[in-house]
Chain A
Amino acid sequence: MADPAYIVDGVLTDGEAWVALGSTTLGGSAAVVTFTSADDGSSLDWSQFMDLVVVWYARSDRASTNNDFIVQFNNDTSSNYPIQLLSGSGAAANAYAATNTFAYMGDLPAASSPANHMSAGVATFFDVNSGKYKSVLAQSAKDDDGSGYVSLFAATWKSQAPITEIDLIASGNNLVAGTHIDLFGVLPRMVA
């Protein structure tokens, strides 16, 4: 694959801070959408970025009106993800904390939701190449004509390894056709 126009001989020649790393629009149901670092020094190698951002519009096939949209890093399925939720549903506000085998991305409409409804969200994964635990801040919006959720999720992946793989999953179910997910890398600018 050729370098994008803003990279010449491996050097960034444009100040654009957000770099498109991948985009998936599902043509059929899928259990997981995976993004993986190129790990080759190219413009798609995640090691050059400060943060990663996922922008998504998605729906699940679960036999319900709701399904959790979750993320796991580097194939880690152990209980390494403390999470904190703040959400609004109808007239109620809710908070919740736990330690999970995944972090939350948001809430998905599912098979019993109105036809063609999807939910929207944005998630940031911070300082993904550092020796810190990796932090997640995610917002999502889901509306089912009179019910739904608006949610703010935080999580920490208790690993000091760089993030090199992201698995996005409709918990226990499938993401449906039409689900659209984009991944961006966010560059820093180190100045003296």
Chain B
Amino acid sequence: MAIIEAIATTYLEADAASVTFSSIPTTYEHLQVRGSHRTSAGTSGQPFYIELNATAGTGYSSHGMIGTDTTVSGQPQTGTAAIAIWDGTHGTLVNAADYATIIMDVMDYRNANKNTTVQLFMADAMTLSGASRVTFASGLWDDTAAITQIKFTPSSGNMVRGSEFTLYGLNSS
């Protein structure tokens, strides 16, 4: 059996409001999402939302450590309707060939007795002087449900053609 399997890739051939992985198999120990994306909004950096199990409400938090140009900062969010990553993607003020990136780890995702904390590495707006950003972040969903769905949505605009996300499953043996 493979240790790391690609479960599904979504590669947008047309703009879309969001990308969702649903009916995630329960046959793995951990999940990882890898992707590159940008939006149609007239923005540089803009927030990026990650919703779990099609559940909104106020049960999400996040905490980011961020480097942008020569500034180091922290970015906490709590009581949000999704994991909200400040400037986690970018829009049309950034060169059209430049896509933001994400690596997200979801550990022990099928356990129904633990809240879900994810680990994120992200970067955006690398070609826009003064706006480039690299982020190491956590995301929390205050719910013990097993993860069956992951949805990615920009704060405004659509994710554009060429945006891509792949969901991987990690086995323990």
Contacts and interface: CB of A to CB of B under 8 A. Distances in A.
A152 B121 contact: yes
A55 to B, nearest CB: 13
Contacts of B71: 95
Interface of B is mostly: strand
A188 B166 contact: yes
A155 to B, nearest CB: 7
A188 B36 contact: no
A77 to B, nearest CB: 19
Nearest to B6: A189
A173 B7 CA distance: 42
A93 B105 CA distance: 24
A95 B121 contact: no
A87 B122 CA distance: 15
B172 to A, nearest CB: 15
Which of B6, B9, B99, B164 has the most chain A CB atoms inside 10 A of its CB?
B6
Contact of B68 (A50, A84, A93, A130): A84
A50 B101 contact: no
A38 interface: no
Interface of A is mostly: strand
B133 A84 contact: yes
Given A17-B4, A82-B132, A97 B69 contact: yes
Contacts of A82: 126-127, 129, 132
B65 interface: yes
Given A14-B2, A16-B4, A139 B69 contact: no
A7 B131 CA distance: 44
B103 A154 contact: no
A105 to B, nearest CB: 14
Contacts of A57: none
A126 B34 contact: yes
Interface in A40-83: 50-51, 82-83
A8 B97 CA distance: 36
Contacts of B168: 17
B26 interface: no
A86 B68 CA distance: 8
Contacts of A96: 67, 70
A83 to B, nearest CB: 8
A113 interface: no
Interface of B: 2-9, 11, 34-36, 65-72, 95, 97-101, 103, 121-123, 126-127, 129-130, 132-134, 136, 162, 164, 166, 168
16 contacts: A16-B2, A17-B5, A50-B34, A84-B68, A84-B123, A86-B134, A97-B68, A97-B70, A124-B103, A127-B99, A132-B36, A133-B127, A135-B100, A152-B136, A160-B97, A189-B8
Given A16-B2, A158-B97, 7 more contacts: A82-B127, A84-B132, A126-B99, A132-B98, A133-B97, A152-B134, A189-B8
